[in-house]
A and B are shown apart, each in its own frame.
Chain A
């Protein structure tokens, strides 16, 4: 049996590279003309984006009648996609903020990338409630409390308005957090830049950062504060998203388990998405030792944990539906599992609860191909979870005469594809134009980067 020395921090970046080599490796994708693989990838994702753009343009021209939304199921695809994408974003903040506070050093290699994914996911998510208003150029501004010619204000009692505040705060704070982390790296890029235009751009974004320790001192404190603020924020965002459902009185929505269950689900799907993207990035850019297999394994363990929590929530919903003695509640859940949307329910259940259990086996959670496939299943499952929640409850509510079956149309699917296109196009552009690993952070945790003892007083 091997023994582990817990008194020492594990080295997270193997000492095979000097600081200079770390710079070169991370900055390399920014300096060279990308290879063929990159152009194929971005060609594919921008095609998806184009399909989505056409879908949205048609919806604006002809109206939202092009969508499958019908009378009981008014929320349908746009809200499903919104909740899905906001959830994807949560893993990024979890990695960058919560794991930072918990001093989980393995996060350093992936934090920047995960934060970028948060921002892109929230951008993608924001499209959906906005297009769901039908005429966003008319309606979107009324989401904010501003003095207007109608002399009316928004309804501060409404969970939908809390959502506006939560998601816009989440986006702004994530962006600020990300940018603060990028400032030293922009300064490094500025000092490496050879072309004049690049130098001007990097100078502007670096704000004139000088790597001064008098600055690092406040910088580190501010970073810690931002992490401390982002931690309750990330938990609040999906909590408030779940309020959109839980505060209503619809059977299947009106449950107190929703906030924790949504947060667990968000982290679950977010980690799956980050894991998928990281596997691609570390292969394409040859960063195997900056993003070691151990990081991916740790992520798989979190997927296993949150997947099991989600499974618990599914079962507990059923138990409460029976235990509450409320007939509409009971009917809704039986209807979910055995009604017209049973296919969606069981897709969700198997992808989210059964398949991730394979991660108990060490061999599966440490080999790339199986973990990649399982994470894809997780994302499919989590999309279906939101579909099941939104559609099954709405399509059969209290009054049987108003029941209707919801069928998405081709426009709905075009916009869904487009959202993936937008997300991955932004991600690819990010890896091309910005350092996808936080250089200053990774240097600080590489071997021999910190003095062998603290303070210089006893150095005589």
Chain B
């Protein structure tokens, strides 16, 4: 269904349009516009428009973003990753000035244009009723036009046409529009739009897949992943046996490896091993952490053999028994390392230092239940 949008009148010269614009403004119309192929000096005055406020947006946006950038650089240098570069202070303001300046210009320019186009002009808007009219084709090239919209409170079709003719228009058109055309509701379910979104999604997925899985492994874009060097455990044709390095001489041990000599000899461990770690605060904390992780499920949090799994699992014995109290540190260490009865050995999961720390912690727990005279002081 077509509805009247406006009555549009064309004029031939800039003088005519200046005259017409001031007449329309004087006649009290509010919803009207002047369309000219280029900006005409003095037209704002003729139309009685207030001066543009764009500058306030620019300075507000620019200064805000500048402050945010300054704060960002402060945050990077002083909070997130403080480091001294070239002996300069952590907040070298002069060095930040060029970047603050550039950010002010960048955000001021880009966002001012965005504000103008999106909030002031409501662009993009290619569905406006004036588009594709002979009026628009004339004012885009060499004619000058006034159009008075039908929503204006003083609008009356015949009166407006007579008025426009009286101020010297050489051509007067009525501009109609179809409500369906400017209606933007429910366009999101339009089949073209939906198919378009699927196509974009498909294209994006395929190109990301190809990029991450194919392009990255093509020389020269391989991110240095493909290198002509032998890596550990690699096959190599250089040696006859096909391994990538020479076999180590007999008795070689890995770096940091400490052999355990008493795996079949608990008494030897008891007699010969001495706890090499002092039971200081840090060591006890480590032992507590590991004890609670690995030992407490069976032996209980306080080593009383009263764990939460009692009855569902072989009950772990108390560690406060006389037998345990009489054991040396080395003997306890041996049990943790190799296991005993149903208890498994922990040499693979708990490091040597951690095992000794557990021993220290167990000793602390024992002492807590079996305090001596001197502890009371």
Contact = CB atoms under 8 A, between A and B. Distances in A.
A and B co-occur in one complex = yes
A214 B92 CA distance: 46
Contact of A188 (B46, B110, B140): B140
Interface residues of A, number: 75
Given A156-B77, A221-B55, A213 B38 contact: no
A443 B103 CA distance: 35
Contact of B113 (A176, A214, A220, A456): A176
A413 B126 CA distance: 48
Contact of A156 (B19, B76, B108, B141): B76
Given A208-B126, A459-B22, A169 B106 contact: yes
Contacts of A289: none
Contacts of A243: 98
B98 A449 contact: no
A155 B73 CA distance: 10
B33 A214 contact: yes
A444 B136 CA distance: 18
A460 B20 CA distance: 11
Interface in B120-175: 120-121, 123-128, 130-131, 136-137, 139-142
A443 B120 CA distance: 25
B209 to A, nearest CB: 17
Given A207-B117, A459-B19, A177 B40 contact: no
A177 B39 CA distance: 17
Chain B interface size range: 35 or more
A229 B58 contact: yes
Interface string A241-275: 00100000000000000000000000000000000
B105 A229 contact: yes
A187 B13 CA distance: 21
Contact of A451 (B40, B52, B141, B219): B40
B85 interface: yes
Contacts of B219: 61
Interface string A179-211: 010001001101110000000000110111111
B125 A455 contact: no
B136 A210 contact: yes
Interface string B29-66: 00001111111111111110101101100100000000
A192 B72 CA distance: 49
Interface in A438-457: 440-441, 443-444, 448-452, 454-457
Given A213-B39, A226-B113, A156 B33 contact: no
B21 interface: yes
Given A173-B105, A225-B112, A138 B220 contact: no
Contact of B37 (A165, A166, A188, A459): A188
B31 to A, nearest CB: 11
B35 A23 contact: no
A267 B117 CA distance: 32
B363 interface: no
B112 A222 contact: yes
A443 B43 contact: no
A166 B86 contact: no
Contacts of B136: 191, 210-211
B39 A220 contact: yes
Contacts of A166: 98, 102
Contact of B14 (A212, A214, A233, A450): A450
Contacts of A157: 85-86, 88, 92, 95
A210 B35 contact: yes
Contacts of A214: 33-34, 47, 49
A262 to B, nearest CB: 14
B298 interface: no
Contact of A155 (B21, B43, B85): B85
Contacts of A40: none
Contacts of A23: 141-142
Given A218-B116, A456-B46, A213 B33 contact: yes
Contacts of A177: 109
B46 A455 contact: yes
Given A157-B92, A218-B120, A456-B21, A173 B109 contact: yes
Contacts of B14: 448-451
Interface in A319-333: none
B99 interface: yes
Contact of B101 (A60, A63, A236, A450): A236
A54 to B, nearest CB: 14
A207 B125 contact: yes
A135 B99 contact: no
B257 interface: no
B15 interface: yes
B139 A211 contact: yes
A19 B37 contact: yes
A455 B142 contact: no
B80 interface: yes
Contacts of A152: 81
A165 B49 CA distance: 39
A407 B134 CA distance: 65
Given A155-B85, A218-B120, A203 B103 contact: no
Given A151-B81, A219-B116, 10 more contacts: A61-B219, A203-B131, A207-B117, A210-B131, A230-B105, A233-B102, A444-B39, A448-B14, A450-B41, A456-B20
Closest 5 CB pairs of A and B: A456-B22, A454-B42, A19-B142, A221-B52, A208-B125
30 contacts: A138-B223, A145-B76, A157-B85, A165-B99, A169-B106, A173-B106, A184-B38, A192-B137, A192-B140, A203-B126, A204-B124, A207-B117, A211-B35, A213-B36, A214-B47, A218-B52, A221-B51, A221-B55, A222-B113, A240-B102, A243-B98, A440-B37, A441-B38, A444-B39, A450-B40, A450-B41, A454-B45, A456-B18, A456-B19, A459-B19
